[in-house]
Amino acid sequence: MSLSPLRVGIDVPWVTSWSAEAFIGIRPCPTVRGRPALCQAEDPGHGKPQYSKNHMVRQRLSVVRMLCPMCGEPTDASDRWTQVATRQAAGALRLKGMSLPPEILDDTVVLDAGSIAPLHRRCVDRSLLHCPHLRGNPDVKVMRFPDRWSTVPLFIETDPVEGLRPKVVGFLQLCGITRTIDRRWRGSSFLALPITRPEAS
């Protein structure tokens, strides 16, 4: 496919999948320490950007290496921001089926960032300026990303092999671990916690 005039990391987020990047099957992937994972060809900038689809490998790389999903460059601990994360008690996420590490107590408030790694602040501002989806999203809340985090593999359905379904990683989910405790999380009538103090500047 031909090279697009759109620039990766400037006009199109680095993590976005392109039409030239075909799925190449399940194979051991270093992004998940050699576990079986769904992989794609690596050919960003060729064909057409698929804005609604993250590239499987680049998404996992963005999480494990703390790479900005907009520009693809590393983020420093002092410059990590999230746009659409929600505050929830770890126990509430466990009730939804997420397997968080046992050292994260149920009443710990975490920032559930989904599959989106934190961005540089300049990249947050750029994406909010140019992305119509983000501009029209009422759930956008720019917050600093915590210094501690945990990743959770999201598995995909596979065909049985000799009666067993092998676990194959698709995306990685990311949760920032805050220093906030919510001891009332079990009795709350809603699982998403309100933001109690401004964190963006």
Average pLDDT along the chain, 201 residues, taken 10 residues at a time: 93 97 95 96 97 96 98 97 95 93 96 97 93 84 96 89 85 96 76 42 37
Phi, psi of 59 (to 5 degrees): -60, -45
The region that residue 17 occupies, defined by phi over 0 for left and psi between -120 and 50 for alpha, beta otherwise, is beta
Instruction: Report if residue 200 sits inside a domain.
Output: no
**How is residue 182 written in tokens?**
């919510």
The span from the CA of 170 to the CA of 173, in Å, is 10
Instruction: Report if residue 81 sits inside a domain.
Output: yes
What pLDDT score was predicted for residue 190? Answer: 46
- Domain tally for the chain? 1
Q: Which residues contact 193 (CB under 8 A, 6 or more apart)?
A: 86, 87, 88, 89, 109, 182, 185
Instruction: Report if residue 54 sits inside a domain.
Output: yes
What pLDDT score was predicted for residue 159? Answer: 80
Instruction: Report if residue 11 sits inside a domain.
Output: no
Helix (H, G, I), strand (E, B) or coil at 18: strand
Instruction: Report if residue 142 sits inside a domain.
Output: yes
Is 140 in contact with 199 (CB distance < 8 Å)? no
> What is the domain range of residue 84?
16-191
Instruction: Report if residue 173 sits inside a domain.
Output: yes
What pLDDT score was predicted for residue 196? Answer: 40
What pLDDT score was predicted for residue 188? Answer: 59
Instruction: Report if residue 116 sits inside a domain.
Output: yes
Instruction: Report if residue 7 sits inside a domain.
Output: no
What pLDDT score was predicted for residue 139? Answer: 85
